[in-house]
């Protein structure tokens, strides 16, 4: 199936690892020009080289088709500056992956007012800021795809991830509201809600759980997979394939959705 993505320009945030990197790699394989940002310069440079190599087959040499810059998504001015460079060097942003590191773990008694504010800035404010940068141009040109990475926490609270349980639904509210606004102009806005996937984010949760409970790594993982009907963690590439489909020309009639990829973990029929 031709996804109709060749030549499109994509901005992928939090792209040095995990879902962001897997999505950037797949987009390059589909012939997109890809801009990546994340916090750490060194890891991001290696990720960008990997993404460039993934696009070699389509482009026969990717020089000039990949851009990257170390930008923290909480820094709106730096994001705006990078987006302007991307539009200058690669072309108008057609595809946007709204993604960031997750807010820290913790329950109600663990979180200070400062933690709540920092969580809001990381998860909600950055999503709003990214949409403000990309959406007006997409609507003016009559095509665009925005996909936000949220979490199954949108549908079912996850133990000890209170910030995520509270703040991710706000991003879903943003997605649904913007989708109404954007749909008449050929722009779709969706969210993907991943369950437990084998990325470094989950490695950090495993380490924290081992420290808190004294359980072994195998016991911690089994504690999760025991409640996942698929009986395993997901892979970043599986979520990336869903994201890239939602960004494709083929997915033009899907908007305002929260698409869950959790191996069946959420206990709800809808």
Kindly list the residues in this chain that would bind ligand NAD in the complex (CB under 6 A). 13-20, 38-40, 72-74, 99-102, 122, 149, 151, 194, 196-197, 199-202
**How far is Cα 162 from Cα 167, in angstroms, rounded to an integer?**
8
Nearer to ligand NAD, 3 or 73 (CB): 73
- Least Å distance, CB 242 to ligand NAD, is 13
Gyration radius of the chain's alpha carbons: 18
User: How deeply is 176 buried, as exposed, middle or buried, from its count of CB atoms within 10 A (0-12, 13-18, 19+)?
Assistant: middle
Query: Which residues contact residue 141 at a Cβ distance below 8 angstroms, ignoring those fewer than 6 apart?
Result: 92, 94
The alpha helices in the chain, defined as continuous H runs, are 18-29, 41-59, 76-89, 113-120, 126-141, 162-182, 200-213, 217-225, 236-247
Nearer to ligand NAD, 138 or 201 (CB): 201
Nearer to ligand NAD, 57 or 203 (CB): 203
Nearer to ligand NAD, 38 or 111 (CB): 38
User: How deeply is 239 buried, as exposed, middle or buried, from its count of CB atoms within 10 A (0-12, 13-18, 19+)?
Assistant: buried
Nearer to ligand NAD, 44 or 90 (CB): 44
- The DSSP code for 104 is P
- Least Å distance, CB 38 to ligand NAD, is 3
Residue 137 Cα distances to 42, 87, 128, angstroms:
31, 10, 15
Nearer to ligand NAD, 59 or 116 (CB): 116
- Least Å distance, CB 141 to ligand NAD, is 26
- Least Å distance, CB 114 to ligand NAD, is 16
**How far is Cα 261 from Cα 242, in angstroms, rounded to an integer?**
8
Nearer to ligand NAD, 100 or 187 (CB): 100
- Least Å distance, CB 247 to ligand NAD, is 17
Tokens of 213: 């409970």
**How far is Cα 176 from Cα 180, in angstroms, rounded to an integer?**
7
- Least Å distance, CB 47 to ligand NAD, is 7
Question: What is the three-class DSSP state of 243?
Answer: helix
Starting at the edge strand that comes first in sequence, how are the strands of the sheet with 66-70 ordered? Answer: 66-70, 33-38, 9-13, 95-98, 144-149, 187-194, 258-261
- Least Å distance, CB 236 to ligand NAD, is 6
């Amino acid at each position: 199936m031709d996804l109709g993505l060749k030549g499109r320009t994509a901005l992928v945030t939090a792209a040095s690892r995990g879902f962001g990197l897997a999505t950037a790699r797949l987009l390059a394989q589909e012939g997109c020009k890809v801009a990546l940002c994340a916090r750490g310069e060194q890891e991001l440079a290696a990720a960008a080289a990997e993404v460039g190599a993934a696009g070699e087959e389509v482009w026969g040499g990717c020089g000039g088709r990949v851009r990257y810059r170390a930008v923290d998504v909480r820094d709106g001015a730096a994001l705006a500056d990078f987006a302007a460079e991307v539009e200058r060097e690669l072309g108008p942003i057609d595809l946007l992956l709204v993604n960031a590191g997750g807010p820290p773990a913790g329950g109600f008694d663990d979180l200070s007012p400062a933690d709540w504010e920092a969580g809001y800035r990381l998860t909600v404010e950055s999503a709003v800021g990214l949409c403000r940068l990309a959406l007006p141009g997409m609507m003016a040109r009559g095509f665009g795809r925005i996909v936000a990475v949220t979490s199954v926490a949108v549908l079912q609270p996850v133990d000890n991830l209170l910030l995520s349980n509270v703040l991710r639904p706000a991003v879903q509210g943003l997605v649904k509201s913007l989708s109404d606004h954007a749909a008449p102009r050929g722009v779709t806005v969706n969210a993907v809600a991943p369950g437990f996937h084998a990325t470094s984010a989950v490695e950090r949760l495993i380490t924290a759980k081992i420290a808190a409970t004294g359980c072994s790594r195998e016991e911690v993982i089994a504690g999760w997979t025991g409640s996942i009907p698929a009986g395993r963690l997901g892979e970043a590439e599986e979520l990336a394939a869903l994201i890239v489909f939602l960004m494709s020309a083929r997915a033009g009639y899907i908007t305002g959705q929260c698409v869950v990829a959790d191996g069946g973990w959420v206990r709800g029929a809808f």
